[in-house]
Amino acid sequence: MIYLQNVATNSTDIKLSWQQKFGWATGDFAQNLIYTTISTYLLFFYTNVYGLPAVDAATMFLIVRLIDAINDPIVGTFIDKHTTRFGKYRGYLLYMGLPLAVMAILCFYVPDFSQLGKLIYAYVTYVGLSIIYTTVNIPYGSLNAAMTRNNKELVSMSSIRMFLANLGSLAVSFGVPVCVKLFSGGYYSGDASKTGWFLTMIVYGVVGALVLVFCFSQSTEHIKMSADTEATVSVGDLFHQLKINGPLRVLAIFFIITFGLMSVVNSVGAYYMTYNAHNAGLMQWYNLLGTLPAFITVPITPWLNRKLGTQVLMQGSLIIIIIGFLIMFLVPATDIFWTFTGRTIEAAGVTLSTGFQWALVPQVITYGEWKTGKRENGIINAIVGFFFKFGMALGGVIPGYVLAAYGFVANHQQTARSLFGIRMTTTIIPIIVTIFAMVVFAFYKLTDEKIEKMNNEIQRRNLNNI
């Protein structure tokens, strides 16, 4: 009987139903309702509604990421060393969904404090949000690799995940401006919009927490770490993984670049449409075009992966990004047709690359297990999660510092210099960053065929150890 249980939990042939894949994938929809709202709109909220100087907001985003550098490895190790009554990973979706929603709601509340008091409140709520988000994001990101080893199944799960993640992003990018104006009587910026932002986050936070409960109910862990192996897990394993797991190092750096790119462009979009295009009313449509291509690119990603392979698929998507930003750079922001065309093209490349790279995380988990004998989902997802959050935070750090350096003043007419700073952040910086991403990903050497061989070898080792 023990023999059969071990074969089942380590087999590369575990197939999941569509309902199981969809149920797990809803977790990213839920998280995006909350975290994409934070990464896309919090800088604008802080500068144009809350009243923080751009440089203070940018510094806060950077400091919180330094806190994450300490917090994430501790959380990842704790998760890998302990098992809840509902499994190693899925229980956290039930326990921490509501606290995550509450902290996100508090981030969009404007207290009647002094300027110093408001800055302290912003730090406390944003740090709290980031810490709690880690306790949801790491277990969720680890869960798929505990459901199956089958690489085709994992790519399929990732595609459904990214489809729903982008559906969540769509609800945020288009819906948040609409809801804010609806709840605040037509205002999006300034003191009059405070209530609109707070009520909007209540709606998105509550829905996100409920969907996380649904994700918990639909997910089942099949691959389990033995008690003996679990007992040997330590924070030091994180540094060991970074040392021996070359594909993990490449992917982690790539996560910073690509999600930093996406976050910067999304975050500065509100400023670009308000001040450069002189048409804040089109903001939700600009944001919509940043997500809409995903509903074409994500479903065809598994097919493209089979036809093109990992390197060609990823490098091709990065080239598409550059083409889109070049179009936006070559035309004035007031030329809405070509601005929106460039936005759509770059978004197609961004959604293709960021969606596909999540399917590569189980590959580096398998590579780490092949090298060390430990399937440390939590620790590897802590590493990836930190670099992901660091990249997403760049959406506040880079625009915040650039806006401050170029003399941006919220809710005022902008100078030619500040307008150039916004334009540079929207087009020139993303082009440079994307070229760097192409160079970095060229060093990623894992393929589906290599992973299949590793899985087979791991399975033989497990059978020999029974």
Q: What is the pLDDT of residue 87?
A: 83
Single-letter code of the amino acid located at 176: V
Confidence of residue 150 (pLDDT cuts 50, 70, 90): confident
CA 209 to chain centre: 17
Q: What is the pLDDT of residue 235?
A: 63
Token pair 């509450």: residue: 102
User: At residue 101, does pLDDT exceed 90?
Assistant: yes
pTM: 0.74
Residue 87 in 3-state DSSP?
A: strand
Domain ranges of the chain: 20-464
The pLDDT assigned to 66 comes to 80
Average pLDDT on 127-139 reads 91
Average pLDDT value for residue range 12-22: 80
Amino acid at 410: A
The contacts of residue 431 (CB under 8 Å, 6+ apart) are 322, 325, 326, 329
pLDDT at residue number 343: 96
Lowest model confidence (mean pLDDT) among 14-28, 105-119, 342-356, 429-443: 14-28
Give the model's pLDDT for residue 1: 28
SS3 84: strand
Instruction: Classify residue 466 by burial, with Cβ atoms within 10 Å: 0-12, 13-18, 19+.
Output: exposed
Smallest Cα–Cα separation from 203: which of 213, 211, 191?
211
User: Of 136, 45, 113, 148, nearest to 362 (Cα)?
Assistant: 148
Mean pLDDT over 176-182 rounds to: 92
Of the ranges 86-90, 158-162, 291-295, 317-321, which is most confident?
317-321
| pLDDT at 13 exceeding the cut of 80 | no
CB-CB contact of 36 with 172 (8 Å): yes
CA separation, residue 27 to residues 97, 164, 298, 321 (Å):
10, 9, 17, 27
Shortest CA distance to 360 belongs to which of 444, 238, 240? 444
Residue written as tokens 């440089």?
55
User: Position 400: which residue type?
Assistant: G
CA 174 – CA 266 distance, rounded (Å): 12
pLDDT tens string 217-275: 988 887 776 666 655 666 677 778 888 899 999 999 999 999 888 888 888 888 899 89
Q: According to the per-residue pLDDT averaged within each range, which of 57-61, 180-184, 454-458 is highest? A: 180-184
CA-based nearest residue to 408, from 271, 246, 273, 281: 271
What single letter denotes the amino acid at residue 332? P
The CA distance from 292 to 163, in Å, is: 10
b vs e for 441-452, b when ≥16 Cβ sit within 10 Å of the residue's Cβ?
A: beebebeeeebb
332: which residues sit within 8 A by CB, 6+ positions away?
A: none
Residue 215 Cα distances to 24, 129, 151, 170, angstroms: 5, 20, 21, 19
Give the mean model confidence (pLDDT) for residues 295-314: 90
The verdict on domain 20-464 having CATH code 1.20.1250.20 is yes
Q: What is the pLDDT of residue 79?
A: 80
Q: What percent of the chain has pLDDT over 90?
A: 44
In this structure, what token pair is assigned to residue 52?
Answer: 């923080």
Q: Take residue 261 and report the two structure tokens written for it.
A: 């790119």
Cβ contacts of residue 365 below 8 Å, gap of 6+? Answer: 145, 375, 376, 377, 380
Region 206-223: mean pLDDT is 90
pLDDT value at residue 2: 29
Mean pLDDT of 201-216: 95
| Banded pLDDT at 465 (limits 50, 70, 90) | low
Per-residue confidence at 392, pLDDT binned at 50, 70, 90? confident
Per-residue tokens: 46:
């802080």
Count the residues in the chain.
466
Looking at the DSSP bridge assignments, the partners of residue 87 are 84
pLDDT of residue 8: 39
Can you give 273-292 as a three-state secondary structure string?
HHHHCCCHHHHHHHHHHCCC
**What spatial distance separates the first Cα and last Cα of the chain, rounded to whole Å?**
11
In a 10 Å sphere around its CB, with 0-12 CB exposed, 13-18 middle and 19+ buried, how is residue 5 labelled? exposed
**Across all residues in the chain, what is the average pLDDT?**
86
Q: What is the pLDDT of residues 20-67, one digit of tens each?
A: 899 999 999 999 999 889 888 898 899 889 999 988 988 888 888 788
CA distance 156 to 169: 20
3-class state of residue 196 by DSSP: helix
Q: Radius of gyration over alpha carbons of the chain, in Å?
A: 22
pLDDT of residue 232: 61
* Region 114-118 average pLDDT: 94
Distance CA(179)–CA(255), nearest Å, equals 31
Cβ burial of 328 (10 Å; 0-12, 13-18, 19+) is buried
How far apart are alpha carbons 80 and 58 in whole angstroms?
33
Contact of 314 with 353, CB cutoff 8 Å: yes
